[in-house]
Amino acid sequence: MVTKSRPGSEVLAVHSNFVTDWGKMPILAIRKVGSGKSLYLGSDSAWRWRRGVEDKYHYRFWSQVVRWMAHGRYLAEKEGIRVIPDPENPRVGERVFLRTIVLDENGFPLESGTVNGRTLHPKGRVETLSFSPDPDSPGVFLSSFLAGEVGEMKLRIVAKGAKREIESVLRIEESVREKLGKPVVSEPLIQLGKLSQGKALSHTRWKELTDSLALAPAPKPTIRIERLRTQFSWGIMILVLLAIYWTGRKLFGMV
């Protein structure tokens, strides 16, 4: 049984019943490997019939998975070179990791060569980027920079050894972190309350909040499934019962 996801993985779906020490058991997860992504699905091909999923929703599910897997290929792509930023929509203060995939003139991953980049920040500041090759993935070069200004940032990456060049634009958004001494940002809390069928109240309505908490129903018990076939004591009990059965047959003269 899978207990948790690996670092760097993005969990898209979890099990509704199986709970481990790290939380719900991951069922669907993706992870960047080399110049692409790997997909993990912790189920068999008969899950849709057990769950009663119609064909329409089954096809829609897999179409969304395929789109999610191929999403990075269409962010910034040109012949022989592709750049994938992470995160795609960075905010001020976040570090943006760039993953550049370069092919040589013959279409093979670039093994020897230098990849350099240059960023033009919204306020005119120019920053030079130096890409280092990924030791585990040929043709993949990694770099990063710190998003410090709000607005559109222009990115230009050049691979001289393969004669490849690409330009892209990243939109850096303002940070939504709440600052000390400033009013709280209530819009996300109100939206979260609507999505979770809850409430978002101000501190002036604290009495209404305490009354709502007092009338809230008790939480549903957590279902934790224990697999008997994986327990050592269960196997010992079966062996003891079989030994008693065969011993009784011998005592009564049965072969």
CA proximity to 115, closest of 51, 173, 158: 158
Last residue of a domain, one of 148, 172, 196: 172
Residue 198 lies in a domain: no
Q: Both tokens of residue 51?
A: 């769950």
Residue 209 lies in a domain: no
pLDDT at 75 (0 to 100)? 65
What does the pLDDT average to over 23-39?
Answer: 79
Q: What angle do CA 34, 2, 238 make, to 5 degrees?
A: 145
With cut-offs at 50, 70 and 90, classify the pLDDT of residue 33.
Answer: confident
Is the pTM value of this prediction over 0.85? no
Do 94 and 19 sit in the same domain of this protein?
no
pLDDT at 149 (0 to 100)? 84
- Structural domain for 233, as ranges: 225-255
Amino acid at 181: G
Residue 208 lies in a domain: no
Domain count within the chain: 3
d(CA 138, CA 130): 17
Choice between 91 and 161, residue whose per-residue pLDDT is larger: 91
Q: To which residue do tokens 């570090």 refer?
A: 95
d(CA 255, CA 251): 10
CATH number where 83 lies: 2.60.40.1930
Summarised one tens digit per residue, pLDDT across range 143-191 is 888 888 888 888 888 888 778 888 888 888 887 766 677 667 777 788 8
Do 163 and 83 sit in the same domain of this protein?
yes
Do 30 and 88 sit in the same domain of this protein?
no
Do 27 and 107 sit in the same domain of this protein?
no
What does the pLDDT average to over 87-112?
Answer: 83
Last residue of a domain, one of 105, 138, 172: 172
With cut-offs at 50, 70 and 90, classify the pLDDT of residue 242.
Answer: very high
Residue 3 lies in a domain: no
Summarised one tens digit per residue, pLDDT across range 181-195 is 766 777 778 888 888
What does the pLDDT average to over 241-254?
Answer: 85
pLDDT at 244 (0 to 100)? 92
Do 53 and 117 sit in the same domain of this protein?
no
pLDDT at 76 (0 to 100)? 61
CB 92 within 8 A of CB 179: no
Residue 183 lies in a domain: no
Residue 161 lies in a domain: yes
pLDDT at 45 (0 to 100)? 66
Do 153 and 81 sit in the same domain of this protein?
yes
Do 48 and 90 sit in the same domain of this protein?
no
Residue 29 lies in a domain: yes
Last residue of a domain, one of 130, 156, 172: 172
